[in-house]
Copies of this chain bind each other. A is one copy, B any other.
């Protein structure tokens, strides 16, 4: 029921994803049941055998404060869906609602998985030749060195699953690549990551320049910087496309060029919007929560639902738990040369950004 576009657009996304999923899958729409059934009727999926309904009362609004909303809006759709996860009545949930309430409710109701202190949002971003994972993009603004290390471990597993990269190259985002730069938090996180040599493919500290060059698969940063970075690069891209469009339309000489340019801008846009199309998982909770942009459209909803479905089929949560346990044991181990277990088996297929209309594995 939340998000900027309300349930109508979510239901249009559900209609799209119904073409892709397996016959045993179920999609449960949580919210004002009359409204949802009316919207589902309009979309022609009211009586679809794979669509179910769960009544909920109220909506978490975009400016609701976490603790207050969790206490006073117990029957709101987001919190009812989360209770269903907790009660094992659902395997994963999707939300395009208030991120801060989602993170707080997830932490309180589902609890962080063993080995992780706090959940982190992982976003898929474009680089020159493909995509990389930026995390945390806002779940935990004041990440500690230990939490940055947990995020590195989880980001590695997510990149294996979502990008199909066996040994994702992981960098710690900072302001200078020499050791000792970036302050105490970065130094401590750097030491922890170096200890995990056998478990993650840590390439060292990296700078803002390095992210888009294509040499990095996972960039780890605190949720404060990550959130500002995500929103700024998105806004900057929109600005650039808008400026090109404006210049094209302003001068009739460019109209022909504009027509030719349109497919280029469109393909760039598709490449750059991978995060919106895929949604961002809240990694490190005991059940799977997928967050989509508040302003997501039906295609982004479909992408996020597919992402959730595929993560479940690939046992991503189990892999995250195992990797965290191994990493924490290595860090706690007093041995000088800790045993280096083999990295988890490489995912050869990709989880996110499946081709439009292609079947889910």
Stretch in A32-40, A153-161, A228-236, A320-328 with 4+ CB within 8 Å of B: A228-236
A240 to B174, CA, bound (A): 23
- A225 CB-CB contact with B under 8 Å: yes
CB closest chain-B residue, reference A207: B231
B212 touches A239 (CB 8 A): yes
A310 CB to nearest chain B CB (Å): 27
User: A208–B229 contact, CB under 8 A?
Assistant: yes
Q: Contacts A175-B227, A208-B235, A224-B174: A268 and B240 contacting too (C-beta < 8 A)?
A: yes
**A237 contacts across to B, CB distance below 8 A:** 236, 240
Q: Are B264 and A254 in touch, CB under 8 angstroms?
A: yes
Proximity string of chain A (268-307) to chain B, C-beta cutoff 8 Å, 1 when within and 0 when not:
1001000000000000000000000000000000000000
Residues of chain A at the chain B interface (Cβ within 8 Å):
63, 65, 100, 126-128, 138, 141-142, 173-176, 178, 180-183, 207-213, 221, 223-225, 227-240, 242-244, 247-248, 253-254, 256-257, 259-261, 264, 267-268, 271
Known: A175-B141, A207-B231, A228-B225. A240 touches B240 (CB 8 A): yes
- A178 near B65 with CB under 8 A, answer yes
Q: How many angstroms from the CA of A231 to the CA of B173 in the assembled complex? A: 11
Known: A100-B176, A240-B237. A229 touches B231 (CB 8 A): no
**Closest chain B residue, CB of each to CB of A99:** B176
Q: How far is the CA of A178 from the CA of B244 in the complex (A)?
A: 33
Set of chain B residues within 8 Å of A256, measured between Cβ atoms: 256-257, 260
List 20 extra interface pairs beyond A207-B228, A254-B264, CB under 8 A: A65-B178, A100-B176, A128-B239, A142-B183, A174-B228, A175-B224, A207-B227, A208-B229, A208-B235, A209-B232, A209-B235, A210-B235, A211-B232, A236-B237, A243-B268, A244-B264, A244-B268, A247-B264, A247-B267, A253-B260
Contact between A182 and B141 (Cβ–Cβ < 8 Å)? yes
Secondary structure of the A contact surface, majority rule: helix
Among B100, B212, B244, the residue within 8 A (CB) of A232 is B212
How distant is A176 from chain B, measured CB to nearest CB, in Å? 7
In Å, the complex CA distance between A84 and B127 comes to 44
Across the interface, name the chain B residue whose C-beta is closest to A264.
B247
Contact check: which of B63, B100, B208, B257 meets A261 at CB < 8 Å? B257
For the complex, give the distance between the alpha carbons of A243 and B208 in Å: 19
* Interchain nearest-CB distance for A250 vs B (Å): 10
Whether A242 contacts B128 by the Cβ 8 Å rule is yes
A235 contacts B213, CB within 8 Å? yes
Instruction: Find the residue from A65, A142, A240 having the highest chain B CB count within 10 A.
Output: A240
Cβ–Cβ contact B233 & A209, under 8 A: no
